[in-house]
């Protein structure tokens, strides 16, 4: 039996402890519509609660695009005024925060076009790996649209205020080399090697201690939050930096190192 149509717009594929989330509207270059935003939020919530997951890869279906941004054909019916836009935005931000706050590391696998909403999703990932032929940009001022606070926070946090405003003011679509220079992506590889590199990266991540990866993600987010807050680290937060010594994975890791063996982490 086939899945309902709304589930088909975002697919979940699993190979062991690595899960791939696929934006699946290849006939529209994976343009983001309301059903995709809703489904993506549900998927990320499900994955966050699954402790057997070690790494998530987010990508678009096909080789032409991660996505061109929003499905503009929806604007007349779904985003015609500020009230509708706020309701729609709540769906978008639930999905974006689901990626950003997912306890597991999330990699964006980028092939082809990655602009507008697709780039906003990629910004929420922990790492971004793209092909040499990939193109990036946020040309929304050509549509009279603004990037809302959650997205602009991620963009400024990644590339800094001046570069973020350059991207938004000029609204250019630029190549992968410039994206790497701006700090938008971690790695640029030949187009025919993007999948191999992304999944090799995911495998390296998944082979590490999953509790440690989750702590490191949590700590990095807290450090960024603390840089803009007067709230100091609590005693409990400071103690988190040593909690790993009480885990089974710590015993496994250092004993495997001494024995010159590959550790088999259990996430305990």
Per-residue pLDDT of the chain (268 residues; tens, 9 = 90+): 334 567 799 999 999 999 999 999 999 999 999 999 999 999 999 999 999 999 999 999 999 999 998 888 888 888 889 999 899 889 999 999 999 999 999 999 999 999 999 999 999 999 999 999 999 999 999 989 989 888 999 999 999 999 999 999 999 999 999 999 999 999 999 999 999 999 999 999 999 989 999 989 999 988 887 655 667 888 888 888 898 898 988 889 898 999 998 988 988 9
CA distance 150 to 92: 10
CA distance 10 to 15: 17
Rounded to two decimals, the pTM is: 0.92
- How far, CA to CA in Å, does 55 sit from each of 18, 99, 202, 265? 5, 12, 6, 14
User: Residue 56: beta bridge partners?
Assistant: 19, 106
Q: How many CB atoms lie within 10 A of CB 30?
A: 30
Write down all domains in the chain, each with its CATH number in brackets: 5-206 (3.90.226.10), 209-258 (1.10.12.10)
Per-residue DSSP letters for 93-161? HHHHHHHHT-SS-EEEEE-SEEETHHHHHHHHSSEEEEETT-EEE--GGGTT----HHHHHHHHHHH-H
CA distance 20 to 112: 18
Tell me the pLDDT tens digit for each residue of 93-151.
999 999 999 999 999 999 999 999 999 999 999 999 999 999 999 999 998 998 988 89
Q: Which of 17, 6, 118 shows the shortest CA–CA distance to 62?
A: 118
């Amino acid at each position: 039996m086939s899945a309902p149509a709304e589930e088909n717009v975002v697919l979940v594929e699993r190979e062991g402890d690595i899960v791939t989330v696929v934006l699946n509207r290849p006939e529209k270059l994976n343009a983001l519509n309301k059903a995709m935003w809703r489904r993506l939020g549900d998927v990320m919530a499900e994955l966050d609660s699954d402790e057997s997951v070690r790494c998530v890869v987010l990508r678009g279906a096909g080789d032409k695009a991660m996505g061109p941004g929003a499905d503009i054909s929806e604007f007349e019916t779904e985003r015609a005024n500020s009230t509708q836009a706020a309701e729609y935005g709540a769906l978008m931000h639930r999905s974006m925060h689901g990626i950003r706050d997912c306890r597991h590391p999330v990699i964006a696998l980028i092939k082809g076009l990655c602009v507008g909403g697709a780039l906003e999703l990629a910004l929420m990932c922990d790492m971004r790996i793209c092909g040499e032929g990939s193109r990036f940009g946020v040309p929304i001022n050509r549509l009279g649209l603004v990037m809302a606070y959650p997205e602009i926070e991620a963009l400024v946090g990644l590339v800094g205020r001046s570069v973020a405003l350059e991207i938004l003011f000029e609204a250019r679509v630029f190549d992968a080399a410039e994206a790497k220079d701006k700090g938008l992506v971690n790695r640029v590889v030949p187009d025919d090697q993007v999948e191999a590199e992304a999944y090799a990266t995911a495998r390296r991540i998944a082979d590490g201690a999953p509790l440690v990866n989750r702590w490191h993600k949590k700590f990095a987010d807290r450090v960024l939050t603390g840089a803009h807050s007067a709230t100091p680290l609590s005693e409990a937060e400071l103690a988190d930096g040593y909690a790993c010594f009480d885990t089974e994975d710590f015993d496994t890791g250092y004993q495997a190192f001494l024995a010159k063996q590959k550790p088999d982490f259990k996430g305990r």
